[in-house]
Amino acid sequence: MAVGIFDSGLGGLTVLDAVQARLPEVPFVYYADSAHTPYGVRDSQDIYELTTRGVQRLFDAGCDLVILACNTASAAALRRMQEGWVPRDKRVLGVFVPLIEALTERKWGDNSPPREVAVKHVALFATPATVSSRAFQRELAFRAIGVDVEAQACGGVVDAIEEGDMILAEALVSSHVEALKRKMPNPDAAILGCTHYPIMQDQFQAALGPDVRVFSQANLVAESLADYLARHPEMTGPGDTAGFLTTGDPRKVSAGATRFLRRQITFDAA
């Protein structure tokens, strides 16, 4: 009954942690495409090819349902995969919809027309590829009207976090928030639209100020997955072994993951 969690690298471990805590009985297989991270600076064709390859590997590991923890893959590849690539008996879900449901206070499957919602000015912080895909705005437009979204491509933050340079990461967060505020001085809400940013949530909140509600995806995705599996128990696949797979050097990736999550993680070659 395994479920797959796909990410371009280590950032998706923030999502893994949350889904494991929410669904301790489910074995999760985590796939990190460490050989090709970061995705945030790649073009959409490249992201599509890498994501389908990784998701296929998770299908082969006995997962019928795969969560794209990576926002960049969710933004640049998911729709195309769902439209023409995902086999009939498998499912691939992304991370934007749970976030947008929380932001717009709508429930899953509420297909009523888009309507006015409480938030009016939303700041989106994400990778350059996610920002240029405009996938967040597209998904939001299905559910809400009258919401002004200002997106800030946060170049450099993922690399700084992956390298463990938190001083640089903090400085970059401050400067990206300043840049956003020049375009939108008073956002009501901010979306941390990248797997790595929950680690910097306090810095985003401090730079944005206490009046801005910051939405971070790990717990929202965990709730949404629990709800999905309660409605579709058949989608927990035949695999029964949890594990960690990487396209990178397993020893190096295991060391990075252990530092990232502050507990021992052992990756195998994908």
Window 54 to 93, contacts with ligand DGL (CB under 6 A): 70-72
Give the one residue of 1, 2, 3, 9 binding ligand DGL; rule: CB under 6 A: 9
The verdict on whether 63 is a catalytic residue reads no
How far apart are the C-alpha atoms of 62 and 3, rounded to whole Å?
8
Window 97 to 136, contacts with ligand DGL (CB under 6 A): 127, 130
Window 36 to 55, contacts with ligand DGL (CB under 6 A): 37-40
**Spacing of C-alpha 12 from chain mean position:** 7
Dmax (CA) for the chain in angstroms is: 51
| Exposure string for 150-186, b = 16+ CB within 10 A, e = fewer | bbbbbebbbbbbbeeeeeebbebbeebbeebbeebee
* Choice among 1, 169, 194, 208 that is catalytic: 194
Q: Minimum Å distance from CB 158 to ligand DGL? A: 4
The verdict on whether 70 is a catalytic residue reads yes
Window 176 to 215, contacts with ligand DGL (CB under 6 A): 194-196
Give 176 or 196: the residue with its C-beta nearer to ligand DGL. 196
Question: Which amino acid is residue 170, in one-letter code?
Answer: E
Each residue 135-164 as x (binds ligand DGL by CB under 6 A) or -, in order, gives -----------------------x------
Q: How is the beta sheet containing 121-126 ordered, strand by strand?
A: 148-153, 121-126, 189-193, 213-216
How far apart are the C-alpha atoms of 253 and 177, rounded to whole Å?
30
How far apart are the C-alpha atoms of 231 and 212, rounded to whole Å?
33
Q: Minimum Å distance from CB 74 to ligand DGL? A: 8
Q: Minimum Å distance from CB 36 to ligand DGL? A: 8
Chain residues binding ligand DGL by CB under 6 A are 7-9, 11, 37-40, 70-72, 127, 130, 158, 194-196
Catalytic center residues? 70, 194
